[in-house]
Structure 1
Amino acid sequence: MNEYVLRTRRLTKKYKNQLALDDVSLNIRRGSIYGFIGQNGAGKSTLMKLATGMAFPTSGTIELFGESGEKELVRARRRMGIAIEQPALFPQLTAKENLEIHRLQRGIPGMEGIKKTLELVGLEGTGMKKARNFSLGMKQRLALAVALLGDPEFLVLDEPTNGLDPVGVVEMRDLLRRLNREIGITILISSHILSELHLLATHYGIIHKGRLLEELTLDELQRKCRQYIRIKVDSPQRAAAVLERELATTEFEVLPDGTIQLFEHLEHPSRVSGALAEAGLAIEQFMPMGEALESYFTKRIGGEA
């Protein structure tokens, strides 16, 4: 089994005099959720269209599931589910009828998959309700259901949370995580809500003005955007002893000004503050700190600019 579902090598796309993609070499591992980060017009949608066969490269190569030949790529794309641009949903039809039309258009045998797909995205109870009466969140779920027809191994989703309210965003995130963890679907997803990608993705690619600036794993990103608790007390030396003795951690740093950066116990800050207070320390400052994905991204593209 090939380790990667998608690899590109020196992929370039020009539209007349505009360079939409510039020498992009990207790697998406099987089983990952790859968060594709970039501003509008950075090249995210262009790469997705090239990978899915909706457009053709000016130069460079695309490899899907280890295959790179023209005929092999056509076969490999049958293993993909795609939601790049809003699919043709028929507003006068129900969710089930919409999926049936897409099933017939794509030559997917049997109707068993429709019921399973509707259950998967939480639309099994919509009955005879027409798509025109769906909320935006339901329409996004129906678009995802269209992409999931045929049991794809690789999902390509361009801004699937666009326009959703906070509850809808959380529901979509949980659904995608379940598809990845329970079914094993690899996902390439772009979103302008970077905080959501930080909660969802296992790997990241940062693209700017058509150039892929960086690829990194979640662990690498977290090291670069490491979260910590900033602690200032009346005796840093005693506080350090408490952290080691009571909380059994050495994952902290005492800065020259006496401020402590604690890199563990982030999920239980009250336990930390309680241990310090019980030791008789006066806590002057106690707050979670760290660089968010948004600020890392801004700094990264700012450096390139």
Structure 2
Amino acid sequence: MSEYVLRTKKLTKRYKSDYALTQVDLTIKKGDIYGFIGQNGAGKSTLLRIVMGLAKPSDGEVELFGNSDDKGLVEARKRMGAIVETPALFLHMTAEQNLEVCRLQRGIPGSECIQRTLTLVGLGNTGRKKVKNFSLGMKQRLGLAIALLGDPEFLILDEPTNGLDPMGIVELRDLLKKLNREKGMTVFISSHILAELHQLATTYGIIHNGQLLEQLSATELNNHLQKFLLIKVNEVEKAVTVLERELGTTNFVVMQDGTIKLFGFLNETGKISKLLIEHGILLEQLTPISDDLESYFTRLVGGGHV
């Protein structure tokens, strides 16, 4: 049995002369929570659609659960659940009726899974309320319920936090962690909210202009994140002069809000505090900080934003 739930090999998607994907080699192991990161138009949704069988590649190969032939892929996709782009819902039906239609379409035996799944995503008490009267967040939860119906082994989520309030985002994060921990569910998640991904993912893939720039584990990412001292003072220019003259360093950045990021002196907070105070500078903050996922992404793609 393959240790990989998903592998793509030189996966390419071309539209006339434009490339949405260029020779992407992506690997997701069983039990991963894989955070997929990229700007709009980078190729995220294109890749997800190909994996789901909603689009065909121009070249390359998709392998799911060790299967890469057409028949094997059809069978492997029965072990998956997904929200790709906007969930397809029957607006004139209730949440329960929507799940019943999906259950019958997929041939899932027994209807007891419906209420259990609705309760799991926080929609257990919607009763006879029609989906057309749901909020955007409730519709997103219903889409997640559809994806989870039948207990898939591999869950694909494209921007699943759209429409969720901050509490809903936290609840989704906790739910995905629980499914991963208790059921061993592998999750492939694309999201613009990198702070959330950073608290959730065990592995990351960064795509830019259709090319997979990097894959790395959460441990590898944390090792790459820049660590610095965040310094806030009343006289920024004077403090910068002291750092240059007394510490012999220019390895710092003055931010737009006037705070200073000083790199390379994480274990010398006492020395720096003493220097600044001795030169009559009021020290308001001196805190060791680590960069976040968004900062790392921005450096890697050259200043772009997700």
**What TM-score, normalized to structure 2?**
0.80
Residue of structure 2 in register with 1:2 after alignment: 2
Residue of structure 1 in register with 2:147 after alignment: 147
**Is it true that 1:104 corresponds to 2:104 in the alignment?**
yes
- Residue 80 of structure 1, CA deviation: 0.4
- Residue 131 of structure 1, CA deviation: 1.5
Q: Deviations over 1:102-123 (max 9, x none)?
A: 1112222221211221122121
Q: How does 1:216-231 map to 2 (within 5 A)?
A: 216-227=216-227
Distance (Å, rounded) in 2 between the aligned partners of 1:43 and 1:230? 35
Q: Between 208-217 and 114-123, report the one with greater CA deviation.
A: 114-123
- Residue 24 of structure 1, CA deviation: 0.2
Residue of structure 1 in register with 2:266 after alignment: 261
Distance (Å, rounded) in 1 between the aligned partners of 2:200 and 2:267? 25
Residue of structure 2 in register with 1:40 after alignment: 40
- Any conservation in 1 of the 2:45–2:85 contact (CA below 8 Å)? no
SS of residue matched to 2:188: strand
**What TM-score, normalized to structure 1?**
0.81
- The residue identity in structure 2 corresponding to 1:76 is A
Cα RMSD (Å) of the superposition?
A: 2.7
- Residue 129 of structure 1, CA deviation: 1.9
Distance (Å, rounded) in 2 between the aligned partners of 1:228 and 1:179? 35
Residue of structure 2 in register with 1:212 after alignment: 212
**Is it true that 1:121 corresponds to 2:118 in the alignment?**
no
**Is it true that 1:73 corresponds to 2:73 in the alignment?**
yes
Gaps of 5+ in 1: 233-254, 264-271, 277-282
Distance (Å, rounded) in 2 between the aligned partners of 1:227 and 1:177? 27
Cα distance change on mapping 1:3 and 1:256 into 2, 3 Å: farther
- Residue 144 of structure 1, CA deviation: 0.3
- Any conservation in 2 of the 1:203–1:217 contact (CA below 8 Å)? yes
Q: How does 1:1-305 map to 2 (within 5 A)?
A: 1-227=1-227, 260-262=265-267, 284=283, 285-302=285-302
Cα distance change on mapping 1:303 and 1:69 into 2, 3 Å: same
Distance (Å, rounded) in 2 between the aligned partners of 1:73 and 1:165? 36
Distance (Å, rounded) in 2 between the aligned partners of 1:163 and 1:40? 18
- The residue identity in structure 2 corresponding to 1:261 is L
Identity %: 61
Q: Deviations over 1:39-59 (max 9, x none)?
A: 001000011111111111111
Residue-pair matches, total: 269
Gaps of 5+ in 2: 233-246, 250-261, 274-281
